[in-house]
């Protein structure tokens, strides 16, 4: 393999914004935020809108995840209360 052309492969904290769940895995994703984890170490943080911790298929229950105001715009557009 060629030297210095591959991204850094490191441990990254992924946080599900909908449920607040944080999990650690290894990734090459670029991040600017960091998170102090329960184990005392600081990891790069990548925030997800939805993951298996909040997706209805995996949780077995329907959750309304509206991070961009889509539901309110839909209700306003079609005059739904």
Local structure of residue 36 (DSSP, 8 states): E
Per-residue pLDDT tens over the stretch 38-68: 999 999 999 988 787 776 666 667 656 666 6
Kindly give the residue spans of alpha helices, DSSP state H, lying in the chain. 56-59, 70-77
Query: pLDDT value at position 54?
Result: 73
Domain boundaries, the chain: 10-77
Q: Which of 53, 48, 51 minimizes the C-alpha distance to 35?
A: 48
Query: pLDDT value at position 24?
Result: 95
């Amino acid at each position: 393999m060629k030297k210095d052309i591959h991204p850094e492969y490191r441990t990254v904290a992924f946080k599900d914004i909908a449920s607040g769940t944080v999990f650690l895995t290894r990734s090459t994703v670029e991040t600017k935020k960091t998170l102090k984890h329960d184990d005392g170490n600081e990891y790069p943080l990548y925030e997800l809108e939805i993951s298996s911790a909040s997706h209805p298929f995996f949780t077995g229950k329907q959750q309304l995840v509206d991070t961009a105001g889509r539901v309110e715009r839909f209700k306003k557009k079609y005059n739904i209360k």
